[in-house]
Amino acid sequence: MENVYQMAGYTLHLIPTNKFKTMTISLRLQSPLLKETTTIRTLLTFVLMAATQDYPSTKALAAYLDENYGASLSTHIHTKGQSHIINVTTSFVNDAYLPSPEHLLEKQLQLISDLFYRPCLENDGFQQSIVQLKKKELQEKLQANKDDKFSYSLDKLFEYMGRDQILGIPGTGYEEEIQKITSQQLYQYLQKCIEEDEKHVYVVGDIPENFVNIFERILKFPSHCHDYPSAYIFKSPRQDLLEVIEKQDITQSKLNLGYQIQCDFTSPSHYAFTVFNAIFGGFSQSRLFKVVREKHSLCYYVSSSYDAFNGMMIVNAGIEAKDYHKTLSLIENQLTDIQAGHLNEEEIHLAKMMLENALKKTNDEAGSMIALAYNRDITHIHETSEEYIEKLKNVTLEEIVEVAKKVKLDTIYFLTGKEFHESH
Amino acid sequence: MKAIKYPTLKETLYFEEMPNGLKVYLLPKAGFSKTYGLFSTRFGSIDTTFVPLHEEKMLKVPDGIAHFLEHKMFEMQDGDASEAFAKLGASTNAFTSSSRTAYLFSTTSHEKECISLLLDFVQDIYLTDENVEKEKGIINQEIGMYDDDPDWRCYFGSIQNLYQNHPVKIDIAGTVETVASINKATLEKCYHTFYHPSNMMLFVVGNIDAHETMNLIRENQQQKHFSLENPIQRAIVDEPLDVDQKEAILHMDVTMPKMIVSMKINDILTKPQERLKRELAMNLLLDIFFAKSSTLYDEWLNEELINDSFSAQFIQERDYCFLQIGGDTLYPERLKEKIFYFIEHIQEYDIHQNDFLRLKKKTMGILISLFNSPESIANMFSRYYFEGIMIFDLIDCLDSLTIEDLISLRKLFDLQYTSSYTILPQNE
């Protein structure tokens, strides 16, 4: 159902469907995740979105998008294991639902091209006032993220667990480096992205006949092919468990656990691990939810997530400070229970059904369709959703126990209130 | 069964009222894998004083009870509803707002079984003293989670500032104290009063056949017995015109200050069409002054008073109505003064025809795109349904708005009914 075309400097993936009233275009730029470039790359996603020569301010650009029937335009930055991805996305109403044809596809595609080739410049760099404004915006966004204790404690887990490794590099940059970046450096970095980033473009919607020609005409990048690594298996240089307890003036404590798992997106055991995670803590039917929340009433949320690109697993829960050790041991017990092979076929069947249902649902949302396709494209895994479901279904009890045995707690990060005492 | 066609959006909606009073709406969507069912009751966190079914006197129930009941509904005599859905390959959830509680499932298979299960688990209650007690620990952690969330504290604090008596000032989940006082008997009273079919609506959207689905629902309802219910009597809130507090400041363990200016609107409309018109017109008006394409946004951005988190919103629910304007800011005091100045002098700010037309286009596009997702359709449908409005009418109503409609809204702005809520770091 997906058609792929090799274009000038990018791969175009067309996913035709007429079930949506909008069309979504997503351009993804991939480059290695590096300590040296994480901040400049993040700042670039902010500056890129600020203005173009035709629409030289936030105000003018926003007004243009309003005119295009509220077309969205956004940039996001995220990591995929060892890769650092910039995502430029636009979505706009299909002409069929508008009073008159607006040619929004051409207009929005041209706008994306202009973000890269016709930004507002001065003195061989981005316009100084824009860069200043966006530096402030990024700085404040990072601060606000820190104030959200859930995401702060998760970031801290990655920081401690991944010290001096890829996992420890924050995908949204370092706050203290923002001000050092000059407009000229930023513009040079854009040129580097245009030259060296590996690019994929995804389109979901009601795709007209002459579609590829429109792309050929409007969107071009230099033709280089790069194969950057993404998924990897996290390995810790430490042998011992690292336990970090931080105190702040807060009501609810946040427990975050990081595990080594010896498996990633490209491993043969990926399918078995996916099923393991669904049994262990991936859903509200999973063991952690049933035991820690339903049986012991210790929390409102508790779950495990399999990070298939960093080859590791996270468990997090919001609990009372006094329940720290109790919660830890309940989580540990569930893991050792599965490792000991205490599993039944019904539980496995249920987990597989939940995974299948979750996967099928991605077909009803353009963004998730693209995310799924992209994961496969950057890891070169040629697999349809049907094949993937088939592989999940074939996972056996023994294979689940096998992957569970490789799970090892690596780091505990506990954010708690000022009154917490070690002796609990 | 009635079929209602909406040619602009290329959608057909099916409707039938069951003999027991339950309203059923179906929206088949070709090409979608997912089916989404939403079963809602007009019972929310503000319904805390009412006459229980078959009783005569008003009863005040503990705050947070609608939300507590939502948690407990999943427990069935023969197991847990979430697990039963899981066995069908489906997932389920629920949410409580100020004026309604909604239960939902989402599935890509076994649609019929899921619809029956949704009806069955919500139309039956199984409570024991033990399972009620046990839920309290979970809900207290849910409350605790919001306690540490500065965005939520600022948002909710700015609403609390406005109201002296109205229960909208109480957190949807209640407080640790009110949750402690909830018991089985009161939960059952709420259930029998508000979960009567005549107070409820089922909406199913997605991969379904309208006729087969309606037959199934009809048969399901015929098998159940509900005692007759008189219209529910809710206490009328006696809310003074004045705000509760003009200003509040909360210090938290955070680094980024936040500030929201809120304004109470005492002129409450009752006719659904007028309410819809006011909502759409007010949102356009706020867009004209505060969207990214507006002059004020641009000015304040360049003065470093606001950032991307800045927004202005209009809330209109059953019997209350207010505005909120604000976001993260390094200079909460200066931003507050700017917004206060705007509210006081709104008559002097012109509304230009080109801004009006441009933002109307934007709103139109956003409304159309909401029809992409079964979830957003279902949630919107349920919210507007209890307001007496069909969501498919939104686009026509928007189309018919004139600039005069916006101009006339300026009279609702009044500094006397305005307050501010600020979150500051602990050392400031």
Question: With helix as H, strand as E and coil as C, how does chain A read?
Answer: CCEEEEECCEEEEEEECCCCCEEEEEEEEEEECCCCCHHHHHHHHHHHCCCCCCCCCHHHHHHHHHHCCCCEEEEEEEEECCEEEEEEEEEEECHHHCCCCCCHHHHHHHHHHHHHHCCCEECCEECHHHHHHHHHHHHHHHHHHHHCHHHHHHHHHHHHHCCCCHHHCCCCCCHHHHHHCCHHHHHHHHHHHHHHCEEEEEEEECCCCCHHHHHHHHCCCCCCCCCCCCCCCCCCCCCCCEEEEEECCCCCEEEEEEEECCCCCCCCCHHHHHHHHHHHHHCCCCHHHHHHHHHCCCCCCEEEEEECCCCEEEEEEEECHHHHHHHHHHHHHHHHHHHCCCCCHHHHHHHHHHHHHHHHHHHHCHHHHHHHHHHHHHHCCCCCHHHHHHHHHCCCHHHHHHHHHCCEEEEEEEEECCCCCCCC
For the beta carbon of residue A118, count every other beta carbon within 10 angstroms: 15
The reply to whether residue B373 touches residue A70, judged by beta carbons under 8 angstroms, is: no
Distance in angstroms (rounded) separating the CA atoms of residues B356 and B362: 10
Q: Which of residues 129-148 of B touch A (CB under 8 A)?
A: 134-139, 141-142, 144-145, 147-148
Measured at the CA of B86, the angle between CA B74 and CA B128, to 5 degrees, comes to 20
- In terms of DSSP H, where are the helices of B223-352? 272-290, 295-302, 332-344
Closest C-alpha to A288, from A262, A249, A316, A324: A316
Interface predicted TM-score of the whole assembly (ipTM), two decimals: 0.90
Q: The tokens of A136 are what?
A: 């402030």
B293 contact A CB<8A: yes
Minimal Cβ distance to A251: which of B80, B91, B144: B144
Distance in angstroms (rounded) separating the CA atoms of residues B258 and B263: 17
User: For position B8, what pLDDT does the model report?
Assistant: 83
Instruction: Give the position of tokens 């709420």.
Output: B190
Q: Which of residues 235-274 of B touch A (CB under 8 A)?
A: 252-256
Q: What is the pLDDT of residues B23-32, one digit of tens each?
A: 999 999 988 8
- Tell me which amino acid residue B384 is: Y
The reply to whether residue B256 touches residue A19, judged by beta carbons under 8 angstroms, is: no
Minimal Cβ distance to A58: which of B10, B83, B292: B292
Minimal Cβ distance to B145: which of A249, A294, A300: A300
Distance in angstroms (rounded) separating the CA atoms of residues A73 and B365: 14
Q: What is the pLDDT along chain A (424 residues), one digit of tens a residue?
A: 689 999 999 999 999 998 999 999 999 999 999 999 999 999 999 999 999 999 999 999 999 999 999 999 999 999 999 999 999 999 999 988 998 889 999 999 999 999 999 999 999 999 999 999 999 999 999 999 999 999 999 999 999 999 999 999 999 999 999 999 999 999 999 999 999 999 999 999 999 888 999 999 999 999 878 899 999 999 998 999 999 999 999 999 999 999 999 999 999 999 999 999 999 999 988 999 999 999 999 999 999 999 999 999 999 999 999 999 999 999 999 999 999 999 999 999 999 999 999 998 888 899 999 999 999 999 999 999 999 999 999 999 999 999 999 999 999 999 999 888 765 4
Chain B residue at shortest CA distance from A415: B148
Chain A residue at shortest CA distance from B92: A284
Burial A343-360 (b: 16+ CB within 10 A, else e): beeebbebbbbbbbbbbb
Minimal Cβ distance to A147: which of B107, B256, B368: B256
Chain A residue at shortest CA distance from B299: A59
Query: Which distant-in-sequence residues (6+ apart) come within 8 Å of B299 by Cβ?
Result: none
Minimal Cβ distance to B89: which of A59, A137, A357: A357
The reply to whether residue B291 touches residue A319, judged by beta carbons under 8 angstroms, is: no
Q: The tokens of B55 are what?
A: 């009783």
Q: The tokens of B109 are what?
A: 């298979």
Q: Please state which of the four CATH numbers 3.30.360.10, 3.40.50.2300, 3.40.50.10490, 3.30.830.10 is assigned to the domain occupying B2-222.
A: 3.30.830.10
Chain B residue at shortest CA distance from A249: B253
B199 contact A CB<8A: no
Distance from CA of B294 to the nearest CA of A (A): 7
Give A97's contacts in chain B (Cβ within 8 Å).
Answer: 8-10, 368
Distance in angstroms (rounded) separating the CA atoms of residues B279 and B270: 13
Distance from CA of A305 to the nearest CA of B (A): 18
Report the residue of A175, A290, A297 to disrupt the B interface, i.e. the one with the largest count of B CBs within 10 Å. A297
Could you give the domains of chain A?
3-218 (3.30.830.10), 242-416 (3.30.830.10)
Q: The tokens of B364 are what?
A: 């139109």
Equal CATH topology for B2-222 and B247-425: yes
Please report the number of interchain residue pairs, chain A to chain B, with beta-carbon separation below 8 angstroms: 179
User: For position A283, what pLDDT does the model report?
Assistant: 92
The reply to whether residue A69 touches residue B33, judged by beta carbons under 8 angstroms, is: no
Q: Are B205 and B9 in contact (CB under 8 A)?
A: no
Cα atoms found within 13 Å of the Cα of residue B10, Cβ hemisphere only: 13
Chain A residue at shortest CA distance from B152: A148
Give B294's contacts in chain A (Cβ within 8 Å).
Answer: 59
User: For position A361, what pLDDT does the model report?
Assistant: 87
Domain boundaries, chain B: 2-222, 247-425
Q: How far is CA B345 from CA A216, B413, B415, in A?
A: 52, 9, 9
B107 contact A CB<8A: yes
Chain B residue at shortest CA distance from A20: B372
Q: Are B102 and B67 in contact (CB under 8 A)?
A: no
Distance in angstroms (rounded) separating the CA atoms of residues B330 and B321: 29
Report the residue of A94, A133, A252, A322 to disrupt the B interface, i.e. the one with the largest count of B CBs within 10 Å. A252
Distance from CA of B8 to the nearest CA of A (A): 7
Report the residue of A1, A92, A95, A97 to disrupt the B interface, i.e. the one with the largest count of B CBs within 10 Å. A97
Give A20's contacts in chain B (Cβ within 8 Å).
Answer: 372
Burial B60-88 (b: 16+ CB within 10 A, else e): ebbbbbbbbbbbbbbbbeeebbbebbbbb
Chain A residue at shortest CA distance from B7: A97
- Coil/strand/helix, residue B58: coil
User: For position A1, what pLDDT does the model report?
Assistant: 67
Point out the residues of chain B with pLDDT beneath 50.
none
- Coil/strand/helix, residue B278: helix
Q: DSSP letter for B43, please.
A: -
Chain A residue at shortest CA distance from B109: A357
For the beta carbon of residue B172, count every other beta carbon within 10 angstroms: 22
Minimal Cβ distance to B298: which of A58, A67, A301: A58
Distance from CA of B368 to the nearest CA of A (A): 7
Instruction: Give the position of tokens 């100084």.
Output: A128
User: For position A302, what pLDDT does the model report?
Assistant: 96
Residues forming a β-bridge with B49: B60
Minimal Cβ distance to B148: which of A137, A250, A357: A250
Query: Which distant-in-sequence residues (6+ apart) come within 8 Å of B133 by Cβ?
Result: none
Q: Which of residues 61-80 of B touch A (CB under 8 A)?
A: 80
The reply to whether residue A353 touches residue B87, judged by beta carbons under 8 angstroms, is: yes
pTM of the model: 0.93
Report the residue of B88, B369, B427 to disrupt the A interface, i.e. the one with the largest count of A CBs within 10 Å. B369
The reply to whether residue B32 touches residue A144, judged by beta carbons under 8 angstroms, is: no
Which one is catalytic: B56, B70, B229, B279? B70
Closest C-alpha to A295, from B130, B69, B246: B130
Concatenating the DSSP letter of every residue in B372-387 gives T-HHHHHHHHHHHHTT
Q: The tokens of A194 are what?
A: 């245009």
Closest C-alpha to A40, from A230, A229, A177: A177
Residue B352 dihedral angles phi and psi, to the nearest 5°: -95, 145
Distance in angstroms (rounded) separating the CA atoms of residues A44 and A187: 8
Give A320's contacts in chain B (Cβ within 8 Å).
Answer: 141, 144
In the residue annotation, B428 being an active-site residue is answered as no
Query: Which distant-in-sequence residues (6+ apart) come within 8 Å of B34 by Cβ?
Result: A360, A361, A363, A364, B106, B107, B108, B206, B207, B374
Q: DSSP letter for B42, please.
A: S
Distance in angstroms (rounded) separating the CA atoms of residues A36 and B167: 53
Assigned CATH for B247-425? 3.30.830.10
Distance in angstroms (rounded) separating the CA atoms of residues A364 and A367: 9
CA dihedral angle for residue A155, residue A156, residue A161, residue A164, rounded to 10 degrees: 90
User: For position A424, what pLDDT does the model report?
Assistant: 47
- Tell me which amino acid residue B406 is: L
Concatenating the DSSP letter of every residue in B91-148 gives EEEEEE-SS-EEEEEEESS-HHHHHHHHHHHHT-----HHHHHHHHHHHHHHHHHHHT
Measured at the CA of B44, the angle between CA B40 and CA B45, to 5 degrees, comes to 155
Give B154's contacts in chain A (Cβ within 8 Å).
Answer: none
Closest C-alpha to A271, from A364, A365, A402: A402
- How big is chain A by its Cα radius of gyration, in Å? 23
Q: Are B99 and B67 in contact (CB under 8 A)?
A: no
Q: The tokens of A49 are what?
A: 């979105």
User: For position B328, what pLDDT does the model report?
Assistant: 96
The reply to whether residue A68 touches residue B365, judged by beta carbons under 8 angstroms, is: yes
Instruction: Give the position of tokens 């760099």.
Output: A125
